[in-house]
Structure 1
Amino acid sequence: MLSLRKINFNSIKTIKNSIRTFINVIYEPGEVESSYVVPDHIIKPSYYTEINKPANLIGKININNEDQIKKMRKSCKIAANILEKCHEIVKPGISTHEIDRFVFNEIIKQNCYPSPLYYCGFPKAICTSVNNVACHGIPDSRKLMDGDIINIDITVFHENCHGDCSKTFLVGKVDDNGRYLVYHNDKGLYEAIKICRPGVDFREIGKALQAYANRAELNIVQDFIGHGIGEEFHCPPEIYHFENDYEIGTMEKGMIFTIEPIFSEGAGEIELWEDEWTVSTVDNSRTSQHEHTVLINDDSCEILTMPDSSN
């Protein structure tokens, strides 16, 4: 689940008529069903019962010890395996609420808590962002249509650690432009991961992603960032997905953070819906997002959110 960098949504002017005609544009939310009650035996974060505010991502970056790393490997693996299971159900005709219910049940089966649920008031277990919805889409009654693309963002809370990952799925027969967008978003993520190792400046992540997006002739949605993660859902460092001159610091062994770029086939400008969560593109262009949680180790990095089927 992305963090929001400082942005004035009111400064963005809505473009009523897109230059291009995009596929299955989402203009408004469907009906959102009531939230879930988590069983008593599941360990819950404090925000399950207390209203929290977005975390501060400025400050000292945590260096995880071996026990914390062990727990993070487990929580991330659980999240990744559940995300991989979504291939079984993502198809035309299923609603995003049904996907949310499926993932919620899978998370509970693993004795985990779905981290997005009630985080800063978010009402559902996962985020489902379809087509022109860039991120933080709330699962609702809308059924997926042939040709859609959908990002499913899953985070689980297990043994007091959050494991976070997402990917964009193809729904039925997706057109060539949509496939191109999703493919290069995924490839761009791995280009950024490849440069991660001790001593590398965090700015190199954005530099690698920007270079890749430019080569692919795609734009990056710059208003959302990756983040540190562990016992806190969001914590330092801020991970910018575009070329920048922000002085975050350098990577060190034991740091854990997410990289989760959003690529757009349009301009990459966004607007916030009235639900104060859903973010869509101003020009109705489709976006794709892929996310991994990575650990900096001795001389490179380890992707913690690889599903078992990818090993």
Structure 2
Amino acid sequence: MAGGGSSDVAESSLSCARCGKPANLQCPKCVELKLPREGAAFCTQDCFKASWSSHKSVHAKAKFSAPGSGNTDGPLGSDDWLYCLKKGQARTPKLPNFEWTGTLRPYPISKKRLVPNQIDQPDWAIDIKTSEQIGRMRETCRIGREVLDAAARAIRPGVTTDEIDAVVHEATIAAVQSGQLIGLSVNMPQDSSGKNVAFEDIHLLSIITFSPSLAARRSVNEVICHGIPDARKLEDGDIVNVDVSVYYKGVHGDLNETFFVGNVDEASQKLVQCTYECLEKAISIVKPGVRFREVGEVISRHASMSGLSVAKSYCGHGIGELFHCAPNIPHYARNKAVGVMKAGQTFSIEPMINSGVWRDRMWPDGWTDVTADGKRSAQFEHTLLVTETGVEVLTARLPTSPNVFPWLKS
């Protein structure tokens, strides 16, 4: 409630902040903050109450500018933080409390400036593939499929993931017989083109001087992604994700599947099948005009119905002459992905579904990512082309692909 002023003379010279009539009441909060009386005086309690919704913003600005708030007197105030506060998720954003290191303060940021469509955009912009590029991607993705199928045939208890990596390497070389092909995987650190960067504790293949080509070793059981092939033998009951990425004729192809090793428990079977279904349902909505953010909604809905969670640290991505480029495609619900699908775009969708919590943790090797609770995770991935009427799965299974998934046999 508005309170009385301390001086009858001062009060008589004040005007109501709402109606302009002579005022003798003052906002108690303004008095507490020692704010100027002009603009804080009211003629009646009714005027004070009617003005409260707009008047209280004065208090917030005063708190931000008060000693100890980190701000200094001058033309800057809380308005300069509005661009920051609007980003907050709280219904009533909190003012920042920051100790400025110098005299510089943030000012309001203007709206994003648009570049005309006729101007060439940099390589991180979403590009529309030409028919010639699409033809090369079809060829590259088919090679990737054949290589992944070769790995699937080699998976059984007692085989090391390093041995599976050797199978992938030989299948890749045989498929192309070209020195310009690089068999690689997202399990290795890469440069901007997707080529693997030397990793000092990883065996380097002498033929093509890049690191191993397959993400199998630690993509076992609780590994979400980025496992490194090694001498661990696959055990009966394991699940293992094999991720193959092929670079051929200047373009990339990317796909992966999660396989059963021997006799797998029912919970793991349901996890792998649900992950497969999540990818299939996401692919089913791909067509021109669909928002990229809808992919995550579809995947999350299906996973949650089975009591499973969606890993959030990794996403699908644009692919072509660059291995990772726009768009980013999150797999979880209520994501902030921007843009809509257009004919000629190529990208991957690769949901990682966990039995327990969605949170992840990195191993000390700085690359292997595992579930935070140690429960199992599965993943499937395809490289896709948006067509005029829908979608083409460039890494689709072939008639010769091994029949390893029980739900496909029926």
Common topology (TM > 0.5): yes
Deviation of the 1:268 alpha carbon? 1.8
Q: Is the 8 A contact 2:329 2:337 kept in 1?
A: no
Equivalent residue of 2:267, what SS? helix
Equivalent residue of 1:154, what SS? strand
Q: Partner residue of 1:119?
A: 190
Q: Is the 8 A contact 1:161 1:231 kept in 2?
A: yes
| Aligned residue pairs, count | 255
TM-score (norm 2): 0.60
Deviation of the 1:160 alpha carbon? 0.8
- Deviations along 1:121-171, one digit per CA (max 9) or x if unpaired, are 363211110000110000001000000000000011110111100000000
Q: Partner residue of 1:288?
A: 378
Q: Is the 8 A contact 1:227 1:235 kept in 2?
A: yes
- Deviations along 1:148-202, one digit per CA (max 9) or x if unpaired, are 0000000111101111000000000000000000001001100000000000000
What pairs with 1:166-205 in structure 2 (closer than 5 Å)? 166-205=256-295
Q: Partner residue of 1:150?
A: 240
Letter in 2 for 1:170: F
CA distance in structure 2 between the partners assigned to 1:167 and 1:216 by the alignment: 19
Q: Is the 8 A contact 2:330 2:337 kept in 1?
A: no
Equivalent residue of 1:227, what SS? strand
Q: Return closer, same or farther for 1:181/1:247 CA change in 2, 3 Å cut-off.
A: closer
Q: Is the 8 A contact 1:118 1:124 kept in 2?
A: no
Q: Partner residue of 1:259?
A: 349
- Which of 269, 277, 285 is matched with 2:367 structurally? 277
CA distance in structure 1 between the partners assigned to 2:162 and 2:184 by the alignment: 17
Equivalent residue of 2:315, what SS? strand
Task: Say whether 1:238 aligns with 2:328.
Answer: yes
- Deviations along 1:9-37, one digit per CA (max 9) or x if unpaired, are xxxxxxxxxxxxxxxxxxxxxxxxxxxxx
Letter in 1 for 2:263: K
Equivalent residue of 2:243, what SS? strand
Q: Partner residue of 1:75?
A: 140
CA distance in structure 2 between the partners assigned to 1:172 and 1:245 by the alignment: 37
Q: Partner residue of 2:24?
A: none
CA distance in structure 2 between the partners assigned to 1:228 and 1:80 by the alignment: 18
More strand as a share of residues: 1
Q: Partner residue of 1:44?
A: none
What pairs with 1:209-248 in structure 2 (closer than 5 Å)? 209-248=299-338
CA distance in structure 2 between the partners assigned to 1:125 and 1:240 by the alignment: 25
Deviation of the 1:309 alpha carbon? 1.9
Deviation of the 1:215 alpha carbon? 1.1
CA distance in structure 2 between the partners assigned to 1:222 and 1:288 by the alignment: 13
Q: Is the 8 A contact 2:222 2:371 kept in 1?
A: yes
Q: Return closer, same or farther for 1:130/1:192 CA change in 2, 3 Å cut-off.
A: same
Letter in 2 for 1:99: I
Q: Return closer, same or farther for 1:257/1:310 CA change in 2, 3 Å cut-off.
A: farther
Deviation of the 1:59 alpha carbon? 4.4
CA distance in structure 2 between the partners assigned to 1:309 and 1:147 by the alignment: 27
Q: Return closer, same or farther for 1:219/1:130 CA change in 2, 3 Å cut-off.
A: same
Q: Is the 8 A contact 2:150 2:171 kept in 1?
A: no
Can you give the 5+ residue segments of structure 1 that lack an aligned partner in the other structure?
1-56
Q: Which segment is superposed worse, 143-152 or 277-286? A: 277-286
Q: Partner residue of 1:24?
A: none
Deviation of the 1:308 alpha carbon? 2.1
Equivalent residue of 2:399, what SS? helix
Equivalent residue of 1:85, what SS? helix
Q: Is the 8 A contact 1:77 1:307 kept in 2?
A: no
Q: Is the 8 A contact 1:63 1:254 kept in 2?
A: yes
Q: Partner residue of 2:161?
A: 96
Equivalent residue of 2:328, what SS? strand
Structure label with greater radius of gyration: 2
Q: Is the 8 A contact 1:76 1:164 kept in 2?
A: yes
**Higher relative contact order structure (alpha carbons within 8 Å, sequence separation ≥ 6):** 1
Letter in 2 for 1:104: H
Q: Return closer, same or farther for 1:150/1:247 CA change in 2, 3 Å cut-off.
A: closer
Among all aligned residue pairs of Structure 1 and Structure 2, give the percentage whose two residues are the same amino acid: 38
Equivalent residue of 1:67, what SS? helix
Q: Is the 8 A contact 1:115 1:162 kept in 2?
A: no
Q: Is the 8 A contact 1:115 1:233 kept in 2?
A: no
- Deviations along 1:234-272, one digit per CA (max 9) or x if unpaired, are 110001001124142000000000000000001121111
